[in-house]
Structure 1
């Protein structure tokens, strides 16, 4: 693992949308358009987004929808130059804590079977595999593994 660097976590604002859009394009074969993030921040009352900054630059982000007591991770990405430094784990822990603070009891997400590093991270965070969504990813028809965690059981 790379060295620990000072990272600031904060709620995403409209000023971050362009940076987040760039991270989407770097991370995903079918990225969300930037206007989707504008809608998430301005219209979707269930959406919560957090960014990670290094020296004032957004280098990672994560989004979730909080529906009653369930948090659903919509997307998470770390800039390629900052991967392997624990930022994704710290970001996910931020989201888990935010979900708990706002009434979340459980958290779910989908992950590609081929994304071994993400699957390892989610298992480290207490997520367990609970099903498959067939042909979930439209870029290659890859299935998605559905993972869940009980947030109260993961509190330290």
Structure 2
């Protein structure tokens, strides 16, 4: 994993991000939404994982007051299980430390046990449920928080 680079998301990665987004999410964000996220570097903080010029995944969060709200973490299916998600989450946590963000939150599908386990490994705890949160199938979302970053 030492040859995987984590760097800020730039416009040149947008096509790769859209491809990963479409592979990973049943209701992926639109190109326009993702482009707006890249443009808004005050609130939106996004990073990519790449090896040479191969995009392996991306992660993002919104910096709102003293909280970080994770919007997406997605890893290309070919690169799952080798720690890319952990590297991306490490990068978001480091951004929080640099920006004096005290806590992080996210919503995760109730059925997404792999993601839940990743977040729990990093000290996120379940704090609530958003009933029928996901529009595609009305699945509940688990709200998770990490305090004292």
Normalising by the smaller structure, the TM-score range is: over 0.9
Q: Quote the offset at 1:151 in angstroms.
A: 4.0
Alignment-derived partner of residue 14 in structure 1: 11
Once residues 110 and 148 of structure 2 are traced to their aligned partners in structure 1, the CA distance between those partners, rounded to angstroms, is: 23
Residue 99 of structure 1 pairs with residue 96 of structure 2: yes
Once residues 52 and 38 of structure 2 are traced to their aligned partners in structure 1, the CA distance between those partners, rounded to angstroms, is: 23
1:42-121 matched pairs, under 5 angstroms = 42-43=39-40, 45-121=42-118
The SS at the match of 2:123 is coil
- The alignment's C-alpha RMSD in Å is 1.2
Equivalences, count:
149
From 110, 130, 139, give the equivalent of 1:133.
130
Runs of 4+ with >3 A deviation: none
Residue 34 of structure 1 pairs with residue 31 of structure 2: yes
Structure 2, unaligned stretches of length 5 or more? Answer: none
Structure 1, unaligned stretches of length 5 or more? Answer: none
The SS at the match of 1:45 is coil
Q: Quote the offset at 1:41 in angstroms.
A: 1.6
Q: Answer yes or no: is the 8 Å Cα contact 1:100–1:151 preserved in 2.
A: no
The SS at the match of 1:81 is helix
TM-score (norm 2): 0.96
